[in-house]
């Protein structure tokens, strides 16, 4: 019995977690996307649905994605989120310019957000990435509760502050003005590079903040 226990312990110790390959990551992301779409179709079929219940007595199974739950917002907030994403995507392909904050100039990472959001908010955002991250008026959001329009912050070169910011678009994507020599683009938040440099997230678009 002792020898068998030692062999089992040795075998368990030798097992290693093998990281996912890029192809496996893409396949997993595709499966998550299909699941989200299926959940949205479920909601569309049940016009009287509210969290947990359909009608007055039949309880629905909980949705299988936190992101879909986070997307349940008022029409007013939804309208503002739509405007934010639309205006951000209008800037795709424009050059990164340090200090830029208008379409004619180009944008740096925080300048893009400053330009798009401050047209729609009752309380204006600071100008820099770290200023936005340190703003106590903005609510911290855990990674698993991210929704469209949330700001996501990174430490690229700095060790003690946020020096890059993008806007989460949903489905594991975010829009950013990356750096000199590159254009505004959509990037994959789940890529190892971004996960390694991720600092945190803040929610900007709320019922209280929109005009």
* pLDDT digits 0-9 by tens, 48-89: 444 444 344 444 444 445 555 555 789 999 999 999 999 999
Q: Of 28, 66, 67, 164, which one is the catalytic site residue?
A: 164
Tokens 């004619």 belong to 104
- The answer to whether residue 176 is catalytic is yes
Residues 145 and 152 sit within 8 Å (Cβ to Cβ): no
Q: Of 28, 176, 190, 197, which one is the catalytic site residue?
A: 176
**Whose CA is closest to 199, among 109, 123, 120?**
109
- The answer to whether residue 171 is catalytic is no
Neighbouring C-alpha atoms within 13 Å toward the C-beta of 30 = 6
- The answer to whether residue 109 is catalytic is yes
Q: Of 28, 46, 86, 109, which one is the catalytic site residue?
A: 109
Confidence of residue 165 (pLDDT cuts 50, 70, 90): very high
């Amino acid at each position: 019995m002792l020898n068998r226990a030692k062999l089992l312990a040795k075998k368990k110790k030798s097992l290693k977690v093998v990281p996912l390959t890029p192809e496996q990551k893409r396949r997993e992301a595709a499966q998550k996307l299909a699941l989200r779409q299926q959940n949205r179709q479920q909601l569309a079929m049940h016009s009287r649905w509210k969290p947990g219940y359909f009608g007055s007595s039949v309880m629905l199974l909980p949705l299988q994605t936190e992101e879909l739950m986070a997307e349940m917002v008022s029409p007013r907030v939804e309208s503002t989120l739509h405007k934010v994403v639309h205006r951000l995507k209008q800037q795709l392909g424009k050059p990164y310019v340090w200090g830029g904050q208008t379409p004619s100039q180009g944008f740096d990472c925080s300048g893009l957000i400053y330009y798009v959001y401050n047209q729609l908010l009752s309380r204006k955002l600071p100008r820099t990435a770290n200023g936005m991250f340190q703003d106590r008026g903005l609510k911290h959001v855990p990674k698993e509760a991210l929704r469209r329009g949330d700001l996501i912050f990174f430490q690229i070169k700095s060790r003690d502050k946020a020096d890059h910011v993008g806007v989460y678009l949903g489905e594991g994507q975010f829009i950013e003005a990356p750096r000199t020599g590159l254009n505004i683009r959509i990037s994959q938040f789940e890529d190892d590079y971004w996960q390694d440099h991720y600092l945190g997230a803040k929610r900007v678009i709320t019922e209280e903040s929109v005009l």
